[in-house]
Amino acid sequence: MPSSPVPSSPVPSPLSYVDELADRARALVTRGSRRVLGIAGPPGAGKSTLAEAVVRALGADAALVPMDGFHLADAELRRLGRADRKGAPDTFDAYGYGALLTRLRAPRHGETVYAPSFERELEQPLSGALPVPPDVPLIVTEGNYLLLDEEPWPTAVRPHLDEVWWVAVDDTVRVERLIARHVEFGKPPAEARAWVLRSDEANARRVATGRDRADLMVDLDTGRLTPRSPLTPPAAPA
């Protein structure tokens, strides 16, 4: 029996709110110091799109360093017996991610930091792909597990983030978006749907417990931006 096509529906876009969000991100920026903004949410919520848009809006004042560069390689996942749930919290190098955030928070004069990225066509991390110059005052990072209350994430990652936003969208839209993404990068539609409903949605339920710890809620369904804590003022330049 042929696979059903991936259904389509209007997809809310975080780009609708980028001006207001860019203003909030810009308020974190102070020359002479560096801040780190995190953007969290379930798989397929629109974190990457939002993070890229905010960084574009801030220009030379911001650099994007996604969490996905710390995926474990497939060879290691197979060795650990975790390849069938790639994307779960323990399929990332959380300590390595935290170590990079530590380094990024304290830039050295004249030293460019090279962060890893994630190559979706290969479905593999790519080391040394993202240059971060020392004079960029704001780092924007995004990922599923920034607010996860399971070790090592609360101690290895969260303390290095000055503010974290949570991106929310209707679950039906989010699931369709994930299925379409997997199909785009090579999975047959039926296999893509099965993977999303088994693996990605298990991860979505796991990260949902962190939304109440966010500093700002970005609801793409209603267009509502809800601060849950006051904006932390930047530290005075050294």
pTM score of the predicted model: 0.86
| Amino acid residing at 121 | E
Q: Average pLDDT of 18-42?
A: 89
Q: Which residue, 237, 219, 215, is CA-closest to 228? A: 215
pLDDT of 13: 53
Distance between CA atoms of residues 52 and 89, nearest Å: 23
Based on the number of CB atoms within 10 Å of its own CB, is 168 exposed (0-12), middle (13-18) or buried (19 or more)?
Answer: buried
List 125's β-bridge partners, or say none: 118
pLDDT of residue 11: 44
- pLDDT tens digits along 4-29: 343 444 444 555 678 889 999 999 88
pLDDT on residue 230: 61
Q: What is the 3 state secondary structure string of the chain?
A: CCCCCCCCCCCCCHHHHHHHHHHHHHCCCCCCCCEEEEEECCCCCCHHHHHHHHHHHHHHHEEECCHHHHECCHHHHHHHCCHHHCCCHHHECHHHHHHHHHHHHCCCCCCCEEEEEEECCCCEEEEEEEEECCCCCEEEEECCCCCCCCCCHHHHCHHHCCEEEEEECCHHHHHHHHHHHHHHCCCCHHHHHHHHHHHHHHHHHHHHHHHHHCCEEEECCCCEEEECCCCCCCCCCC
Provide the pLDDT for residue 10.
Answer: 43
The rounded distance, in Å, linking the Cα atoms of 40 and 207 is 9
pLDDT at 31: 62
